[in-house]
Structure 1
């Protein structure tokens, strides 16, 4: 079904902005092309949380995807996230993403599910409608277990059996349920790719037996995350722990003790700019730029990770 090889690193890309908050199109093209060429990158994903999707209009989301597709060419495919409140809107935005060149779609739960919850059949109907209308392989974006948009193991198994679903971006963030989720999906259809999106504890989630990682943190440290995945695949725990030790200070500076948030994405953008990966750390409101104290912590972490030199050509 899918022409995308999900068995590797898929960065959820950040979007560079100009000082007036418009999309910095030349910088987005340059950054996307650089990132797509890094070792172990199998695809790029636009319009994720790292890409500040909630600050983008539907038309801008399609434009970001189009610019990224044009920039990367044949280097790797591009996936676009779909974040909508209803089926008609989702089908329309999926069509816009496909027209822009996306070869796969990451489907986030409608955000009213976070407030009101949902029935399993709502979820199946949602994915089925998008899959039938777009004809593109879908990635199930699994939200944290503590949210009302969390998917049960039984629902994940049912989604795994869907012909429209190719992969799962798993952010359960509760390790007992995470293990059960992986098991349920594998038993339902072992061909569906399992991707960790636990930016804040990569090694702990990778050793559970996943196929790749779809994380925003790979916009900042793609090489280190690739090295980590390769060490895990080789069963070299000592090497994996050494790589994670380089990642951890930067993870702490960006995410602190919590999960990825808007402010964390602002800190990551600052780290990317200070490492020379993107030109500017500008974020769109209501996200705020990091404080001076946070910037000092980022600089120390960059030094520990060896990322203080210009990384992007």
Structure 2
């Protein structure tokens, strides 16, 4: 097993594209190195939803991991998401991710589970096959409670028993179930890392007792999210609320009143470009760039947080 520290901030990184929608390798290298050196970052994750994974081919996903892992090899490890429809395909993706330099894997539920649902044994078999094929630590990626791919708390407890599963990326987005999920995992194995992926309500999910955050939002505001986590861990609610107040306008400008979506990832990419973090906010179709009104809201939120004119060197 590789030595990945899951107790901290793990950004699910965005992928810069050229105007022809090809991967901008020099910019990805520069951005990954900048992000990896921000305070509190313990790893980077490629091929998440923020990385527009569904617009990437399998080879491109491996290429993003290869570029990122090489760029930050002297700074921090890289985790790659596995987004597949079955065990045979997953094994192929696992081999490519591992060869590309991934030191851990984030396992998303197969997309067809969202439509048809699944049996608990399907999930156990899927994680077991990926764990055995990779020999790498796995993160169980937990989808919102309202989806048919949501894992019941009792299933999360069974996943926590698997030696391959080292952490949980918990995006339950229903706070009663979220509390039950945390409790179910902790009771089975308290050593398994619990990571919030609730970009749109970080403070509310952090105070439930978690070990870190694995969020796309950390591509934009890694420092603020680290400060928030530290304030929560110190029990300084006043400071935590102060930091969250800086995050809220950005959260509203990027995510609105809802959960992360493809268009929200596009808005975040524009925010990153306007903050000087990325040199371009190009997104791959069918995702659209933000409207003029959305860009004005993003600029106002960045200005409020003191980020509008900052530049990543």
TM-score bracket for this pair, using the shorter chain length: over 0.9
CA contact (8 A) 1:14 1:51 kept: yes
* Alpha-carbon separation, structure 1, partners of 2:72 and 2:65: 11
In structure 1, the residue matched to 2:281 is: 281
More displaced, 81-90 or 1-10? Answer: 1-10
Query: Residue 311 of structure 1: CA displacement?
Result: 2.7
In structure 1, the residue matched to 2:25 is: 25
SS in 2 for 1:167: strand
Query: Residue 2 of structure 1: CA displacement?
Result: 4.8
CA contact (8 A) 1:2 1:166 kept: no
Query: Residue 240 of structure 1: CA displacement?
Result: 0.2
CA contact (8 A) 1:144 1:172 kept: yes
Aligned ranges for residues 211-250 of structure 1 at < 5 Å?
Answer: 211-250=211-250
In structure 2, the residue matched to 1:206 is: 206
Poorly superposed stretches of 4+, deviation over 3 Å: none
* Alpha-carbon separation, structure 2, partners of 1:18 and 1:5: 32
Aligned ranges for residues 50-199 of structure 1 at < 5 Å?
Answer: 50-199=50-199
Q: Size of the alignment, in residue pairs?
A: 313
In structure 1, the residue matched to 2:44 is: 44
Report whether the alignment pairs 1:3 with 2:3.
yes
CA RMSD of aligned residues (A): 0.6
CA contact (8 A) 1:65 1:100 kept: yes
Query: Residue 309 of structure 1: CA displacement?
Result: 1.8
* Alpha-carbon separation, structure 2, partners of 1:310 and 1:39: 16
Cα-to-partner distance string for 1:208-240 (whole Å, 9 max, x where unaligned)? 000000000000000000000000000000000
SS in 2 for 1:163: coil
SS in 2 for 1:109: coil
Q: TM-score, normalised by structure 2?
A: 0.99
SS in 2 for 1:228: helix
Cα-to-partner distance string for 1:123-143 (whole Å, 9 max, x where unaligned)? 000000000010000000000
* Alpha-carbon separation, structure 2, partners of 1:106 and 1:131: 11
SS in 2 for 1:303: helix
SS in 2 for 1:141: strand
SS in 1 for 2:81: strand
CA contact (8 A) 1:11 1:218 kept: yes
Query: Residue 74 of structure 1: CA displacement?
Result: 1.9
* Alpha-carbon separation, structure 2, partners of 1:253 and 1:205: 20
Report whether the alignment pairs 1:261 with 2:261.
yes
* Alpha-carbon separation, structure 1, partners of 2:85 and 2:189: 28
Q: TM-score, normalised by structure 1?
A: 0.99
SS in 2 for 1:155: helix
